[in-house]
Amino acid sequence: PPSSSPSSPLWALPEELLLLICSYLDAQALGRLGQVCRRLRFLSSRDLLWRRIARGCLNSGFTQLGTDLAAGIPVKERVKVSQNWRHGRCRRETVLKWKCKQVAPFSSTLLMPWMELDGEYLYLSQAENIQAYRLCPDGTGLQRHPQAIFSGHQEDVCRFVLVNSHIVSGGGDGNIVLHKIRGSYSIKFSAHEQEVNCVDFQGGLIVSGSRDRTAKVWSLSVGRVGQCLHTVQTEDRVWSIAISPLL
């Protein structure tokens, strides 16, 4: 049988033909091919091969028209995460544990802590703070003590979002707080009459939704920081809000 060494006739083929051959493989076959040798692992990890598979996966970062909304993240990794979500594959272990209970203002409803993973840090809301925990180098969990703590709310953090090295959070006190992750820069302003259930941030704009039945758009441009640009009155509290990634 032909070997996978550089002297094999397989490697005499142009890369375009090798990619064409690999394009007939499904996700499982591509994954197995990548375990043969380093050169095949590099070839089988090309975004070009995984793009077709990714478009048929749940939440892999592609629109129905094929627009890539998550450029910069390897497509193979997106397919892997999508498949893990779809089939419920996970590793169950306790990485953090604390006794503090978060209770929504004016009710007995318990708030779920919000979390986001960014590179080697996990950002987690705990009461009125957001704490950044570093992942252990060996991948066994999180370091016990937070590397950074972001404060500013008088009541529990309801939701936060990480965008472009900034954290934008909405709290039970009706305020919105903007932190620069690496630095002491922060902005705080009163946004809603009741708790801010959801926030999003992009392109110098913040959008927020609240229990007070309004959704609002806020400016972050120089001289207009914290100024409300638009208010949408709704018939019920706003639980989720987002700025279109296509602007």
Q: What is the pLDDT of residues 192-240, one digit of tens each?
A: 999 999 999 988 899 999 999 999 999 988 888 889 999 999 999 999 9
- Contact 219/204 with Cβ under 8 angstroms? yes
Give residue 211's domain range. 115-233
- Contact 216/208 with Cβ under 8 angstroms? yes
What does the CA dihedral 184, 185, 190, 194 come to, rounded to 10 degrees? -60
| Number of independent structural domains in the chain | 2
Q: Where are the alpha helices (H) located in 24-170, listed in sequence order?
A: 27-33, 38-44, 47-54, 75-87
Q: Is the dihedral of CA 56, 57, 60, 61 positive or negative?
A: positive
In a domain, 92, yes or no: no
- Average pLDDT score, the chain: 86
Token output for 136: 């252990």
In a domain, 16, yes or no: yes
- Contact 127/149 with Cβ under 8 angstroms? no
User: Which residues, listed in sequence order, are joined to residue 99 by a DSSP beta bridge?
Assistant: none
- Is residue 128 domain-shared with residue 49, that is, in the same domain? no
What is the reported pTM? Answer: 0.67
Tens digit of pLDDT for each residue in 123-182? 999 889 999 999 888 766 788 889 999 999 999 999 999 988 899 999 999 999 999 988
